Structure 1
Amino acid sequence: MTTSHMNTADADTAAELRAAMVGELRSTGAITSESVAEAVSTVPRHLFAPGEPLEAVYDDGNAVLVKRDPNGTATSYLSAAHIQAVMLEQAEIEPGMRVLEIGSGGYNAALLAELVGAGGKVTSVDIDPDIVARARDCLAAAGYDRVEVMLADAEYGVPVGAPYDRIVVTAGAWDISPAWVEQLSERGRLVVPLRMRGLTRSIAFDRDGESLASHSYRLCAFVPMQGSGAHRERTVLLGDEAALRLDDESRHFDVAAMRKALHSPRLERWSGAAFDLPDELELFLMSAPQAVMLHTSEEFVEQGLLARSAGRGVPALISDGGSFAYRTKRPDEATGGFESGVIAHGPEAEQVAARYVGLLRQWADNHRRRGAARIRYIPKAVGMAVPYQEFAVKRRGVVAIFWS
């Protein structure tokens, strides 16, 4: 049951737009189950974005800004319906479950309430009192008073309601809190947007003893976690033209050598391998020990300094001497698709390009499919497991990847 002060015409328009959004989410594969389709069809998303145009609210790829901090940085969004649906499908929530949502906006909590039904329980927490108050008001307006919204630092979870069958995190996390693992039920699942070496993936982790093993992972983007779990991303500026973004504070770069290499002639090498599934390829490339995310602006792309792939952020391999290589693509007339290739700069361009081309071919030959990675989170107290490849070292554990 929902309450709304909209006139009949606007209510009818909202219902039509909501139905169209569900259809679009089905067609793109974001919604794959009837339970999630029914929840998204039922919850009036516009009541969680008061004052926003209906067309914007029901655009499945549109995130609605909720709050900025005093510096103008966005701290809260009503996430795009597409990624919300994807994460709900990852969670595989069933009626009667107990669910903890970390990062409260109201709408996702209402979807969770629909999925768990009258016999389940949804608790939603946020560190920002303004967001907590807003979520409570929106949930009440939409008729979801049974959702419990709490003010809390999510780093510590909510022990009073544990154990939870599902914990769904809706803010970008750099590490996994021990409380989240401890508060999961024996067969519980954690769905978390985890940041690793400059990438973020929504990973559905199942408990596997004291560690976590991935059930699925998907591309996503979220505002970063606040509170005790916050972690600042490191940026290494290469002058005004480009930057490296990473999490590792200990890694050293010869910035002067890289800047000199950046302005040297480019070397192109082509792999003969198809370019597709860029999010899967990106995760594989970033598994290389020397890889780091390279970014530039549209201005320098237009000037031809770096290829367009760097404007969106691209994995780059960097030699000790400051030479570097990064991925690009070109049309493949034989297939109608694209071929993956490498652009390299610096005195060691030939060598670093060859290593990169080798990675592109290795992925194309062995791992070019959805879900080829198996991701594990091992708390430091548990110890490292083999034969998993170490991917990212965190404060409280290690992210490791095995490629099948």
Structure 2
Amino acid sequence: MTTVRETDDTAASLRAAMVSELNEMGVFQSEAVAKAVATVPRHLFADGEPLESAYAANKALVIKRDDEGNALSSLSAAHIQAVMLEQAAIEPGMRVLEVGSGGYNAALLAELVGEAGTVVTADIDAEIVERARACLEATGYGRVHVVLADADSGVPAQAPFDRIIVTAGAWDIPSAWREQMSERGRIVVPLRMRGITRSIAFDRDDTGLVSTSYRLCGFVPMQGSGAYTERLVPITDAIALQLDDQRQEFDTEALAAAVHAPRLELWSGAAFDMPDELELFLATSTPEMVMLHGSKQLADQGVLALSVTRGVPALVVGGSFAYRTKRPNEETGGFETGVFAHGPEAETVARRYVELLRRWASDHRRRGAARIRYVPMPAGAAEPSAEVVAKRLGAVEISWS
């Protein structure tokens, strides 16, 4: 029989190993975040999970599912939590709002702000709120304010906040979050754009919010007033297009026929690496770029490349489409990026896509090349265009250096 002492010793050992792994991955940029992760007993916020799972650096744990099995709340992977805390650059004494509660991240925030600071964590789900409150009290972090609220409206009674950390996938940035920022405020938010999500650290500027800090991430979608369901357009039973724009129209019959038409291959001569940076560039380059999802069966049959099983940016024009792929090529450092295209205008669409690949490789192939700005606008006024992603309450503008 395992004793409490043995469990505590095992948890401490696994926590130290997780911290070491995160450090080797280059996640920690500050001693404060590393110390917080080394201090908070993560396993006590993951009741029922094996210790090895609780302290796996890249493993998210689902806390609650709906009747269909979809995740409603999760304990995010320690890796992305630490990354977002580093993006936030939290200082002792700050007031911090966490949007989306689970308890563990709020405990990390409490360690960072210290006794002089304030942490408010809010969630729309009463069951999650009670669970988070119980876990925080049991682990000695009862000073965290746990609030039941639709966080789309923020928590005005506790504002202003020096930092707002969002731990659910947000499709837009509510005006309440901006209004409840202090003068030195920063919002760190997993923002969903055209089928991809990036954790973006936004600071104030004269016209809205601006950022040069963004990281790959994945989160369960926001609930409540901020909920948004991306449109899924079936092409066949095994292929679909995912996109933001509810008005965009497609010739689904022509695209379905194009899938099984002869495939055109066109190679760029450019290296394939940093796929997350390339994906952001492609997905936001034009409104005609959507996310293509296909079944593994079609990939196994050689109809489509394996990349479609995970979702890949696809340029769709009329009854033709093109999407990114790669092949081994030592001359480009290991892999070369290229395009597979289908349909009557396959060559034209492929050439447009390859030009984007070459432009990114020659001008923007590095970390942090994107500058991301959020510009508030009257509801529904934003229009999608090249490097502009339209939202309900504003526009995300992306420029590349």
TM-score (norm. length: structure 2): 0.96
Measured after TM superposition, the shift of residue 43 of structure 1 is 0.1
- Cα distance in 2 for partners of 1:343, 1:172 equals 31
Q: Which residue of 2 aligns with 1:58?
A: 55
- Cα distance in 1 for partners of 2:291, 2:299 equals 16
- Cα distance in 1 for partners of 2:380, 2:170 equals 21
* Secondary structure, counterpart of 1:217 in structure 2: strand
- Cα distance in 2 for partners of 1:389, 1:84 equals 31
Measured after TM superposition, the shift of residue 337 of structure 1 is 1.3
Q: Which residue of 1 aligns with 2:120?
A: 123
- The answer on whether the counterparts of 1:261 and 1:346 sit within 8 Å (CA) in structure 2 is yes
Measured after TM superposition, the shift of residue 333 of structure 1 is 2.4
- Cα distance in 1 for partners of 2:337, 2:387 equals 26
Measured after TM superposition, the shift of residue 186 of structure 1 is 1.2
- The answer on whether the counterparts of 2:33 and 2:86 sit within 8 Å (CA) in structure 1 is yes
User: Would you say 1:303 and 2:301 are equivalent positions?
Assistant: yes
- The answer on whether the counterparts of 1:206 and 1:215 sit within 8 Å (CA) in structure 2 is no
- What are the superposed Cα offsets for residues 115-152 of structure 1, whole Å, 9 maximum, x if unpaired? 00011000000000000000001111111000010000
Task: From the superposition, tell whether residues 6 and 371 of structure 1 become closer, same or farther in structure 2 (CA, over 3 Å).
Answer: farther
* Secondary structure, counterpart of 1:65 in structure 2: strand
User: Would you say 1:208 and 2:232 are equivalent positions?
Assistant: no
- Cα distance in 1 for partners of 2:68, 2:315 equals 34
Moved more, 6-15 or 233-242: 6-15
- Cα distance in 2 for partners of 1:344, 1:257 equals 14
* Secondary structure, counterpart of 1:334 in structure 2: helix
Matching residue within 342, 345, 349 for 1:348: 345
Q: Percent identity?
A: 66
- The answer on whether the counterparts of 1:210 and 1:382 sit within 8 Å (CA) in structure 2 is no
Q: Which residue of 1 aligns with 2:154?
A: 157
Q: Which residue of 1 aligns with 2:23?
A: 26
* Secondary structure, counterpart of 2:331 in structure 1: coil
- The answer on whether the counterparts of 2:120 and 2:144 sit within 8 Å (CA) in structure 1 is yes
TM-score (norm. length: structure 1): 0.96
**CA-based RMSD:** 1.7
* Secondary structure, counterpart of 2:326 in structure 1: strand
Measured after TM superposition, the shift of residue 391 of structure 1 is 2.1
- What are the superposed Cα offsets for residues 318-343 of structure 1, whole Å, 9 maximum, x if unpaired? 112x1110000011123551100000
- Cα distance in 2 for partners of 1:84, 1:26 equals 13
Measured after TM superposition, the shift of residue 230 of structure 1 is 0.5
- The answer on whether the counterparts of 1:286 and 1:315 sit within 8 Å (CA) in structure 2 is yes
- Cα distance in 1 for partners of 2:94, 2:176 equals 19
Q: Which residue of 2 aligns with 1:246?
A: 243
- What are the superposed Cα offsets for residues 237-258 of structure 1, whole Å, 9 maximum, x if unpaired? 1111211001100100100000
Measured after TM superposition, the shift of residue 25 of structure 1 is 0.8
- Cα distance in 1 for partners of 2:363, 2:266 equals 21
- Cα distance in 2 for partners of 1:384, 1:394 equals 9
Matching residue within 271, 274, 284 for 1:274: 271
- The answer on whether the counterparts of 2:389 and 2:397 sit within 8 Å (CA) in structure 1 is yes
Measured after TM superposition, the shift of residue 288 of structure 1 is 2.6
- What are the superposed Cα offsets for residues 221-247 of structure 1, whole Å, 9 maximum, x if unpaired? 101000011011110011112110011
- What are the superposed Cα offsets for residues 249-279 of structure 1, whole Å, 9 maximum, x if unpaired? 0100100000011010111110000000001
- Cα distance in 2 for partners of 1:75, 1:299 equals 29
Matching residue within 289, 292, 304 for 2:290: 292
Measured after TM superposition, the shift of residue 155 of structure 1 is 0.7
Measured after TM superposition, the shift of residue 198 of structure 1 is 1.0
Measured after TM superposition, the shift of residue 209 of structure 1 is 3.0
- Cα distance in 2 for partners of 1:47, 1:71 equals 27
Residue identity matched to 1:314: V
User: Would you say 1:224 and 2:221 are equivalent positions?
Assistant: yes
Alignment size in residue pairs: 397
Q: Which residue of 2 aligns with 1:148?
A: 145
* Secondary structure, counterpart of 2:27 in structure 1: coil
- Cα distance in 1 for partners of 2:338, 2:353 equals 9
- Cα distance in 1 for partners of 2:37, 2:74 equals 18
- Cα distance in 2 for partners of 1:335, 1:402 equals 26
Structure 1's unaligned 5+ residue stretches are none
Residue identity matched to 1:288: S
Matching residue within 193, 202, 206 for 1:196: 193
* Secondary structure, counterpart of 1:112 in structure 2: helix
Q: Which residue of 2 aligns with 1:108?
A: 105
* Secondary structure, counterpart of 1:176 in structure 2: coil
Residue identity matched to 1:34: E
- Cα distance in 2 for partners of 1:357, 1:389 equals 16
- Cα distance in 1 for partners of 2:284, 2:49 equals 41
- Cα distance in 1 for partners of 2:99, 2:241 equals 29
Matching residue within 84, 88, 91 for 1:91: 88
Task: From the superposition, tell whether residues 324 and 221 of structure 1 become closer, same or farther in structure 2 (CA, over 3 Å).
Answer: same
Residue identity matched to 1:360: L
- The answer on whether the counterparts of 1:234 and 1:248 sit within 8 Å (CA) in structure 2 is yes
User: Would you say 1:78 and 2:60 are equivalent positions?
Assistant: no
- What are the superposed Cα offsets for residues 64-86 of structure 1, whole Å, 9 maximum, x if unpaired? 11001123221000011011011
Structure 2's unaligned 5+ residue stretches are none
Q: Which consecutive aligned stretches of 4+ in structure 1 deviate over 3 angstroms post-superposition?
A: 381-385
Moved more, 372-381 or 359-368: 372-381
Measured after TM superposition, the shift of residue 190 of structure 1 is 0.1
